[in-house]
Amino acid sequence: NVANRLLYACRVVRKARANNMTVAVWTRDAHKLDFFARQLWSFEPTGFYPHVAADDELAAETPIVYHTDEKLLPARDVLILLDDEVPDDWKTLFDRFGRVIDIVGATEAERLPARQRFKTYRAAGLSPIAHDQGAHNA
C-alpha cells in the first residue's frame, strides 16, 4: 500500500544496507528497473548505494543487483519484487533469499494483481505477512 513502489524499494534498499544486507531486485519491466537504478543515485542526496545489473562483471562484489531475468539473480539476503506477477519458478527463486519483499502499490490497478500474488503464495503453503505502509510512504 505505497504511493510509489520504486521510491519505496529505494527505502527498503537503504534499510537493508544500513543492516549490511545484500539485495536483489526483480521485475520483467526493463524500463522500470532502469528507472529504479537511476532513483538509487538520486533519492537520497548524501546516500550512495552501489548497484549493477546481475549480469555485470562486478555483480559478485556489488551489494545491490537487479535484472529482468530472475534466473540471473544471485543469492542475496533480500529479494525485492516490483512486478505485477509472480516470477517464473518463483518457489525455487525464493529459496535463494533470506527475505522476499513484494511491494504493493496503492492504486486499485496495483492492488488487484497483488491480491492474486498473495493468493498464489498462500495456495503454495506460504504465510505472507502484510505490512501496510500507507501512512509511512512518500
CATH number at residue 98: 3.40.50.10110
CA distance 49 to 76: 15
DSSP state of 17: H
What is the Cα 78 distance to its own chain's centre? 8
What is the Cα 92 distance to its own chain's centre? 16
Instruction: Identify the three-state secondary structure at position 31.
Output: helix
Specify the number of domains making up the chain: 1
131 domain residue, yes or no? no
Q: What is the helix, strand, coil percentage profile of the chain, to 5?
A: 40, 20, 45
Per-residue pLDDT of the chain (138 residues), as tens digits, is 788 999 999 999 999 999 999 999 999 999 999 999 999 999 888 888 999 999 999 999 999 999 999 999 999 999 999 999 999 999 999 999 999 998 888 888 888 888 888 888 888 888 766 656 554 444
pTM for the model stands at 0.89
Its domain, for residue 63, covers 5-123
Instruction: Identify the three-state secondary structure at position 9.
Output: helix
